[in-house]
Chains A and B, each alone.
Chain A
Amino acid sequence: MIEALNLSKRYKKKMAVDGISFNVESGKVTGFLGPNGAGKSTTMRLMLGLDYGGGQTTFDGKPLYKYNQPSQMVGILLEAKAFHPTRSARNHLRILAAMGGVPYSRVDEVLEIVGLTEVAKKGPGKFSLGMSQRLGIAAALLGQPKYLILDEPANGLDPEGIAWLREFLKDYAAQGNAVFVSSHLLTEMALMAENIVVIGKGKLIADTSIKELESSKGRASVFVRSDKQDNIEKLLKLNKLSFIPENNGFRVTGATTDEIGKLAFDNKLLLLELSKQNASLEDIFLEITENAEEFKGHDKETK
């Protein structure tokens, strides 16, 4: 398990990461979410000891630098284009293999895994973003590490590549490894991750499982439709439930399907539709990070 404890980092007057603690469990993919400038990349760099700050991160109880071959413990992808543009992809990986005490035969294996065997002799300077991401993923996999820390690995991948990455990371985690992955593709994250850590303005907002977050009371809603919509509306108002009209019915928050069903029955109302509506990860993300956005766009052009 990866345990990040009280991570913090200050840049002059700005607190980029402010006392964040969370765990990344083995056997699961943990998503790392946050608005732009929330401190995701800084947190990952702190975890790996690339940046200095407060707090500590341990991997199976020890900091990364205590391992003789850290790259066999943690595979990283922090930036897609982290390679010399004219050194061949194979040589780039061979340098990393030599450094991590990994046999060169593994280089060809990972190139095969990510589908770059055919361009292994080429300099990656002309690679597309997707191909660069694949090379970065290959670098992360070199040491067959127990942990993967990946910053936006799906950026630039085509739909087929994203689907491949999703299945690959889920399989990798299923083998007992831990995958910690940041992404702004929320639908992708919902499909891939079991747990999520959400930060905003350098602070921890949520550290939970996606299922728990999606079904937590207040975020889930109920869709109700009746043959007498006016009566339903009166009933909801009478019971002080908040609702919005939607698709010839109402989306109600703050009550369960059981509670609304019972209310309708007691008032002799016929319900044509009654269903629980889980909020999408995007809705939840927007809701919980509402006040934690560093950079916000505006609907109207300001002059």
Chain B
Amino acid sequence: MLANLKAEFRRLLTIRSTYILMLVGAAITFFFSFWIEGFKGISGSPASELRPTAIQEIMNNSVGLGITFACIVVILFMAHEYRYNTIMYTLTATASRTRALLAKAIVAAIFCIVYGLLATGLAIGAYLLGVSFRDGASLPAQEVDILYNLGKIAFYCASYALVGLLVATATRNLVGSIALFMIYPTTAEPLLGLLLKDNAKYLPITALDSTMGVSATTATTLEPGKAMLVSGLYITIAGLITWILYVKRDAN
């Protein structure tokens, strides 16, 4: 397993697109937190209002931005295996396909957690910098439960990593998986939300976003604990299906 993890980390970190997407994600996170939330302040945005929960809000909002790019990195990481047929090396160099997939999932999750935490740190720093440039503004003492929030971020990022990995593994198509990843949460799920009304909170991405207190649909969000449970269930089921596909299908 250690050999697989080492190989997968190298696979992820020896590709230019990983760094480009990380930089783009970081730049957008910085711009959003520094300029829009910190310096300018959008009326109606809780973080902009310089409330005691402002940092908390920044943490909730910014991680979603960063994780989108990290998730695309994960999709590329997996889909490139099929696009460039390196999957045949992966599957013939490893005695167990389960082990190969597990190594990829662990690496993807670790990457997204680390990137999510770094993006959150960057967002907080950028926000504080932005506020310091705002005329006469001062941030009140903040109420933030650091450990609780770090735990939520870690769960959220790992879940998105798995979403990306599962989509790419199941579709085995780079364009298809990126399209699905972009279209489903932004278009399909909000439309489904209109049909399901209040039950829309149980939709997969809505539930997952609820762990961070944000939502793609207009539904009332689930409590973070419940949201973790619901989204965890979705990921487990999707993970099982993908695992069966990975193990039982021809290599590519």
Q: Does B197 belong to the interface (CB within 8 Å)? A: no
Task: Check B138 for interface membership: any CB of A closer than 8 A.
Answer: no
**Smallest CB gap from A140: residue in B:** B89
For residue A67, give the distance in angstroms from its CB to the closest CB of chain B.
Answer: 6
> Cβ of A82 and Cβ of B86 under 8 Å apart?
yes
Residue A48 at the chain B interface, CB threshold 8 Å? yes
Instruction: Check A98 against B84 for contact (C-beta < 8 Å).
Output: no
Interface size of A by CB at 8 A reads 35
Bound CA–CA A79/B83 (angstroms): 13
- Cα A94 to Cα B8 with chains together (Å): 11
Provide the residues of chain A in CB contact with B14, threshold 8 Å.
Answer: 87-88, 91, 94-95
Q: B11 interface residue, CB < 8 Å from A?
A: yes
Q: Least Cβ distance of B217 to chain A in Å?
A: 37
Q: How large is the interface on B (under 10, 10 to 19, 20 to 34, 35 or more residues)?
A: 20 to 34
Q: A98-B3, A99-B4 are in contact. Are A86 and B92 (CB under 8 A)?
A: no
CB nearest to A9 among chain B residues = B250
B86 surroundings in chain A (CB, below 8 A)? 82-84
Contacts of A64 in B (CB 8 A): 92
Pair B91/A99 contact, Cβ less than 8 Å: no
Smallest beta-carbon distance B8→chain A, Å:
8
Query: By the criterion CB–CB under 8 Å, are A100 and B88 in contact?
Result: no
Number of A-B contacts (CB under 8 A): 87
Tell me which of A45, A48, A79, A99 has the highest count of chain B C-beta atoms within 10 A of its own C-beta. A99
- Could you tell me if B7 and A98 are in contact, using CB atoms closer than 8 angstroms? yes
Main secondary structure of the interface of A (DSSP, over half): loop
Cβ contact within 8 Å between A98 and B96: no
Nearest-Cβ distance from residue B246 to partner chain A, whole angstroms? 12
Min Cβ gap B108→A in Å is: 16
- A79 (CB) vs chain B CBs: closest residue: B85
A139 CA to B251 CA in the complex, in Å? 18
Q: Within 8 Å CB of A130, what residues of B?
A: none
B94 within 8 A of A: yes
**A247 close to B (CB within 8 Å):** no
Which residues in B have their C-beta under 8 angstroms from that of A272? none
- Measured CA separation A132–B149 after assembly (Å): 48
- Decide: B95 and A70 in contact? CB cutoff 8 A: yes
Report the Cα distance A248→B14, complex, angstroms: 67
Which of B3, B88, B250 sits near A99, CB closer than 8 Å? B3
Residues in A with CB closer than 8 Å to B252 are 50
**B3 in complex: contacting residue of A50, A79, A100, CB < 8 Å:** A100
User: Of residues A51, A76, A87, A91, which shows the largest number of chain B Cβ atoms within 10 Å of its Cβ?
Assistant: A87
B21 to chain A, nearest CB (A): 14
A66 vs B96: C-alpha distance when bound (angstroms): 9
Render B83-114 as a binary contact track against A, CB cut-off 8 A, 1 for contact: 01110111111111000000000000000000
Tell me whether A49 is interfacial, beta carbon within 8 Å: yes
Interface residues in A97-123 by Cβ distance below 8 A to B read 98-101
Chain B 115-174 interface residues, beta-carbon cutoff 8 Å to A: none
Which 6 A-B pairs have CB atoms at the shortest separation, nearest pair first? A98-B7, A99-B7, A50-B251, A71-B93, A91-B14, A82-B85
Given A71-B89, A91-B10, A99-B3: 10 more A-B contacts, CB < 8 Å:
A48-B88, A74-B92, A78-B85, A79-B88, A82-B84, A84-B15, A91-B14, A95-B10, A99-B94, A101-B3
Task: Jot down 13 A-B pairs with beta carbons below 8 A, ordered by A.
Answer: A45-B250, A52-B250, A66-B95, A67-B95, A71-B92, A79-B88, A85-B84, A94-B14, A95-B11, A95-B14, A96-B93, A99-B4, A101-B3
